Amino acid sequence: MSEAIADRVAPIDAPNAETDESSFTLHSRLEIAHILQGLVRTRALTSVHFGDSRETLLTALLAVDSTTGEITFDCSASEPLNHKLLKAGTLQFQSSQDKVKIRFSTPSARIVQTDGHSAFAVPFPQSMLRLQRREFYRALTQVTRATKCVIPVANEGRNGYVETRLHDIGLGGIALLSQPGEIATDKGVVYPNCRIVLPEVGNVVATLEVCNKLDMTLLNGKSLLRVGCKFVNPSMAALSLVQRYMMALERERRAKE
């Protein structure tokens, strides 16, 4: 059984002064189920916040049933707390996985029996916030299936394009691999209307600003530049595609493991 703890957090729909959280909100039932199953598998601690007094139950998700569309989680050892939770019209869940904050809300819970003891069951959430701070996580792209970024450049007054390959990608930006002299790599250089081609996800059009560069030498002796770039005022649609692609990379990585 879980214990009740005193904790106060902002409501799941509270605005964040630093981040537009709507760009990190998932609506796909398949993706939401995948993340919930990960929380069950890792027995991740989950806080359930409810009631006007913002009471909290520290628990763990026990099972995710995609057929019935229900989540079950452990009850508290405190019957008064369980009674208050059952009376709550809305429950707000907060957990984390691989340094990624996960938040979602559901309607009221009901009591069910599982493995010989009582547990709570709630319907699947309609949406889920999967918020990873920009500096925390970058996903390495696949070597066998190159992810391209097409950059518009001007050469001697004539417009053209340079095709580069991505080294990694995150919600804050990307790292490019380019030939020396292929593009300007001074810090602060801005490239508008870059097209990032994400396999099986779609194309992201974004403005990139160069932040840093690193000289690299491959095993075959070939020189490359790793150019770190940040997104400049990315659209919510662009960030949604980036996040979807990162999740696909993570699923493939875990499947191989």
Q: What is the domain-level CATH number for residue 175?
A: 2.40.10.220
Least confident among 21-25, 112-116, 224-228 = 21-25
What distance in Å separates the CA atoms of residue 42 and residue 40, rounded to the nearest whole number?
6
137 within 8 A of 170, measured Cβ to Cβ:
yes
Number of domains in the chain: 2
SS3 185: coil
Residue 210 in this model has a pLDDT that exceeds 90: yes
- Give the pLDDT of residue 10: 32
Query: Do 80 and 105 share a domain, yes or no?
Result: yes
Residues for the chain: how many in total?
257
Residue 54 in this model has a pLDDT that exceeds 80: no
Least confident among 79-93, 192-206, 218-232 = 218-232
pTM of the model: 0.49
More confident of the two residues 131 and 57: 57
Residue 251 in this model has a pLDDT that exceeds 70: yes
Domain interval for residue 111: 4-131
CATH of the domain at 84: 2.30.110.10
- Find the angle CA(14)-CA(138)-CA(161) to the nearest 5 degrees: 110
Question: Considering only CA atoms, which of 109, 10, 5 is closest in space to residue 57?
Answer: 5
Query: Do 85 and 151 share a domain, yes or no?
Result: no
Domain-terminating residue out of 83, 101, 131: 131
Domain-terminating residue out of 131, 163, 178: 131
Query: Do 219 and 167 share a domain, yes or no?
Result: yes
